[in-house]
A and B are shown apart, each in its own frame.
Chain A
Amino acid sequence: MKWSSWLIRFFLERMQRLLWLVPLAMVGLFTLIRIAPVDPVQAYVGARVALVGPEQRQAIATAWGLNDPIPEQFLRWLGHLLRGDLGDSMLFNASVSEVIMARWPASLSLIGAAFMLAFVVGTSLGLIAAAYKGRWPDRIIRAFAITLAVSPGFWLALLFIALFAVSLGWLPACCSAPPGLTLGEVTWGERLRHLILPAATVSIVGIAPLIMHTRARAGGFLEGAAARHLKAHGARDLPLLLGPGLRHALGPALTVHLAGAGELIGGSVLAESIFSWPGLGEATVRAAKGGDAPLLMGVALATLAMVFIGNLLADLAAHLLDPRLRNRPLGEARRRRWGLSHESGSANMTGGQP
C-alpha cells in the first residue's frame, strides 16, 4: 500500500471521529455548566454584594445574555463559534481567545517540559530495570515506580518545595520568573530554573506507567529468540537494550505516553496553582467557580484539541516506528494498537517472529 493513500485514509477516519465527538462534548459540557448551582452574577459580584444593587445585577445579567433561555444561549455561542469567535469571558472581561492565548505559552512550556522529562526518566529507568531484572536496581526502580504511582501530585509538590526551595534554597518556590522583573529582564537560565520543580511535579503522573511499560516490553524482547541468539554469542543485556532493543521498546512507550497526554494537562492544573504558574489551569479553576461558560467552553475545546492531537500523534508515531502496522488495513491496525497498550498484549507481540 502506498504511503500517501494510507495517510489520507488515516486522517479521514480521524476527522470522522472528531465530527461526532466535538458536538457531543460541547452540548454535554454546556448543559453541565448551566445546571451547576453557580449563579455567575453572584460569583462575579462576590464580596461586593452590598455595593451592587439588584438593578445593576440585572444589567450585568443582560450584558452577558443570561436572561435568554439556555438553548438560545447555546445556539448563539455556536453561531459565534462557526464564525471563528469563541465569545467573551465574563470573568476576565476579554475575548476567550485572548485569555487563552495569554496563558497558553506558559501552560504549553510546562506540559511540554513535563512530557519530555517523564519520557526520558520513565523509559531509561524502565530499560535499566529490564536489564537488571530481579536484581537490586530492578527492585529499587520498581519500588520507586510504585511509590510514585500511589503518591498524590500535590503532596509531592509540597514536599519538593519544602526540600528544594525552603530547606536547601536551590530552586525557587514559585512563579515562572523571579519576582519584580519584566519578561524582557529575565534570562533564559532563570526561566529554566523556575521550570524545574513544576515540570517535575507534572511529570510524576507519567513516569510510573512508563517505567512499568518499558520494563515489560524490554524484558519481553530480552526473552525473545533474537535476543537469546545474540546473548548466546556473548552480547550483554544493557547494550542489547540500548542498541537493537531500543526501537522495540520506545515506539510503544511513546504511544502510551502520547495517549496519556490528557492526564498531564489535568496534573498541570494542580501544579499551576501550587507554584503560581501563570497558565491556563488557574484560569480554568476560576472560570469553573465563577460559572464563566464561554471561557470554560473555550478551554474545553482547546484541551479536547490537544488530547486529540496527542492521540493522533501517538497513532502516527506507532505507525512510523513499526512498519508492520502500516502494511495492514486500518481497522486491523487499530485493534493491534489497542493490544499494544496492555502489558500482556505487548508480551505476546514480542513472541519472537522476526
Chain B
Amino acid sequence: MLRSLLLASSLATLLCVSPVVAAPPLVLAVGGEPEAGFDPIMGWGRYGNPLFQATLLKLDANLEMVGDLATSWTLSEDRLTWTISLRQDAKFSDGSQLTAEDVAFTFNTARDAGGLTDMTILKEARAVGPYKVELELKKPQITFTSHLVALGIVPKDHYGANYSRHPMGAGPFKLVEWREGEQLIVEPNPYWHGGTIPFPRVTFIFGDEAVALNLARSGAAQLVAVPPTDADMVPAGMHVTHVQTVDNRGVMFPTEPAGGTTDTGAPIGNDVTADRAIRVAINQGLDREALVALALNGHGTPAYGPVDGLPWDNPDAHVAGHDVAAARATLEAAGWQDEDGDGVREKNGVEARFPLVYPSSDSLRQALALGFAEQLRALGIIAEPVGASWDALARQMHSSAVVFGWGAHDPSEIYALYHGSFAGVDWYNPGFYRNPVVDAHLDAAQGSADFTSSLQEWKAAQWDGTTGFGAKGDAAWAWMVNIAHSYWISDCLDIGPLQIEPHGHGYPITQGLASWKWTCQ
C-alpha cells in the first residue's frame, strides 16, 4: 500500500515537472565552510541542509516536520522510544542501499563522539528490521526531534577517520572537490530519492565577504550573502531579498536581587533589574522600530520574544512597546518616583540605574546598546552601556544587563534560556530567572506525546494568561530586533518559498537548494 502510494506520488511529480530548462552550473557565496569537514556526527549540518547526507525528517518552508528518509515516526506511550520506518528506495551516492543499520550506527556513534552533535540524551539506537529503527531515550525530551531533522545519516560501511573530508551519503549531492578555505564543488547524486536537480554542478565559494560581493558584481556568482550596509547597491541582473529571521538581539536582565556569588566568585543579581516593574516598563516603552532603523538600516523586524514567527511562538505574549505613557504608569505604580528631579527615578533610596554590557567586538550590539540606553532615559531609567571582551562579559553577566543574540529552529533553546535548572549554567539563563510555573510548562512541553502537542506548552511558558517569561509576565528579557539576512540573487534563479532563518547569515538560505529552478533560457 505504502509502496504504491509512493510510486503514485513520484509519478505525479514526474508529470507535473515543467519542460526542463538547461540550467548552468551554479556559484554561491554564502559562507558556511565547516572547518571540521562534512561529518554529521561531528556537527556538520546543524544549521540544516547537510547537502551530502539525507536526514530522517526535514523542515518545510513553514518549519513543519515532513519525512525525508522516514515514512513514519511515532513516540511510545512512555515518551521514551521513537519508532521510525524508513523508505526503501534511499541509496547512498555509490549506489548501495541505506538501511536501518546505517541509521542506528549514525545515532549511536554520534552519542559517543565528542563533537558538536549533543546526543547525550540517547540511550540506544536499534535496528529492529531492515527498514525500521528504534531510538530509546534516557528521559522524555520532545526536542529530540531536532536530531531527527538535523542529523545526516552516514553509511556504516564507509564511515572512518577520513569520512569528514570524503563524505558520502544519500542526500541530493555528492562531493566533487573541496579546496579548503577556497571552494566546495558538488554535483547531483544520481541515486538521490528526491528527484532530479537541474543544475549540473553547484559551487560554494568561501572566504571574505568582499570576495562574495566582487564575484556577484562581476557576474561570476548567482547568489551571495551581503552585509546590510551593502545590501541596497544591487548589481545588474540580480535582486536583493531580505529574509525574515529569528537571528535576534535582546537585553537579558538579572532577575535576582544583588548579594550572591557563583562558585567562581562572580557576583549574582542586580537590585534594579530584579524588580519586575522595571523590566515590564522597559518592554512597554521600547521603540523597537526605531532600533531597527537605527542599527540595521531598516533591514530587520522588531523582536517581541526569542522565537518570533516560529511554530512555538505565542503572539499573545508580545507587548507592542513604544508606549512611554504606559511604561511611566507602571513605574509610578511600583513606587519608582523621581523625587529629586534629576531625571532618574528612585525607589527606597535606590536609583533606577544599571550597567548594560555588550561585547566590544560587535559594532551592531554596541549600536543597539546605545539606542536602548537612549530610549530608557525618557522613562527615567539609566542604562550605562559598557563594552567588554567575551571573557569579561562572562564574569559580569549575572549582575548586569547584557546584549545577547540567539535564534534556532529548536524550542530547546527557550528551555535553556528560561528554565530554572539552567540558571547560571554556561551561557544559559545568566540572569538566574526562576519561575516554577514556567518551569512546569517547559517540562510539560519536553514530556509531550508528540511535537504538535508540545507547541501549546511552549506557548504557555511565554504567557499562559497569568504568568510566563514573556513581556506580559515576568519580562525576563527585553527583546529588541530580529536581523534580516540579505542576499543578492540572480534574476534567473527561483529559490522558492523561504524559511524564517536561524542565527547565522548565509548558509541557511540553501535549505531548498535541491528544488531551486533556473528560469532563463
Contact = CB atoms under 8 A, between A and B. Distances in A.
Interface of A: 37, 42, 44-45, 47-57, 59-64, 91-94, 102-103, 161, 165-166, 169, 173-183, 272-279, 282-283, 286
Given A45-B116, A174-B214, 14 more contacts: A50-B413, A50-B428, A51-B412, A53-B416, A54-B426, A60-B115, A93-B35, A102-B180, A166-B218, A173-B214, A174-B207, A175-B183, A179-B221, A180-B27
Given A45-B116, A59-B120, A60-B114, A276 B165 contact: no
Given A55-B120, A173-B211, A180 B185 contact: yes
A51 B146 contact: yes
B412 A103 contact: no
Contacts of A93: 35-37, 39, 42, 115, 164
A273 B210 CA distance: 10
A175 B391 contact: no
Interface size bracket, B side:
35 or more
A169 B218 contact: yes
Nearest to B47: A48
Interface stretch (B2-10, B198-206, B282-290, B450-458): B198-206
Which applies to chain B's interface (DSSP): helix, strand, loop or mixed? Answer: loop
B380 to A, nearest CB: 34
Contacts of A272: 181
Interface of B: 25, 27, 35-37, 39, 42-43, 46, 113-120, 146, 164-165, 176-177, 179-183, 185, 201, 203, 205-208, 210-211, 214-215, 217-218, 220-221, 389-391, 406, 408, 410, 412-413, 416-417, 425-428, 503-504
A147 B210 CA distance: 26
A265 B292 CA distance: 43
A44 B205 contact: no
Nearest to A56: B118
Given A175-B211, A179-B203, A92 B116 contact: no
Contacts of A45: 116
Contacts of A102: 180
B214 A278 contact: no
A179 B116 contact: no
A59 B114 contact: yes
Contacts of A63: 113-115
Given A37-B389, A48-B46, A54 B425 contact: yes
Contacts of A62: 114
Contacts of A175: 182-183, 205, 207, 211
A51 B46 contact: yes
B284 to A, nearest CB: 27
B25 A180 contact: yes
Q: Looking at A45, A48, A179, which has the most chain B CB atoms within 10 Å of its CB?
A: A179
A45 B42 CA distance: 11
A314 B67 CA distance: 65
Contact of A179 (B39, B114, B164, B215): B215
A271 B413 CA distance: 39
B12 to A, nearest CB: 34
A62 B113 CA distance: 11
A45 B43 CA distance: 9
Contacts of A274: 208, 210
16 contacts: A48-B43, A51-B118, A56-B118, A56-B120, A60-B115, A92-B36, A93-B37, A161-B210, A173-B218, A176-B182, A177-B182, A179-B220, A180-B203, A276-B181, A278-B179, A278-B180
B150 to A, nearest CB: 9
Contacts of B117: 56
A133 B148 CA distance: 76
A267 B426 CA distance: 38
Instruction: List the 7 closest pairs (A to B, CB-CB), nearest first.
Output: A63-B114, A276-B207, A93-B36, A278-B182, A56-B118, A278-B181, A50-B413
A128 to B, nearest CB: 35
A55 B391 CA distance: 21
B416 A48 contact: no
B165 A182 contact: no
B217 A166 contact: yes
A94 B208 contact: no
Nearest to B162: A94
B118 A52 contact: yes
A273 B27 CA distance: 20
Given A51-B46, A57-B426, A173-B218, A279 B408 contact: no
A48 B117 CA distance: 10
B182 A47 contact: no
Contacts of A53: 118, 120, 416
A179 B27 contact: yes
B253 to A, nearest CB: 19
Contacts of B416: 50, 53
Nearest to A273: B208
Given A273-B208, A276-B211, A286-B35, A50 B417 contact: yes
Contact of B179 (A49, A91, A183): A183
B238 to A, nearest CB: 16
A44 B211 contact: no
Nearest to A183: B177
A179 B218 CA distance: 12
B181 A103 contact: yes
A52 B116 contact: yes
B118 A282 contact: no
A282 B183 CA distance: 14
A103 B115 contact: no
A208 to B, nearest CB: 26
Contacts of A54: 425-426
Contacts of B43: 48
Contacts of A173: 211, 214-215, 218
Given A50-B413, A279-B181, A94 B408 contact: no
Contacts of A176: 179, 182
B53 to A, nearest CB: 16
B299 to A, nearest CB: 19
Contacts of B426: 49, 54, 57
Contacts of B114: 56, 59-64
A265 to B, nearest CB: 17
Contacts of B220: 178-179
A44 to B, nearest CB: 7
A119 B114 CA distance: 49
B199 to A, nearest CB: 11
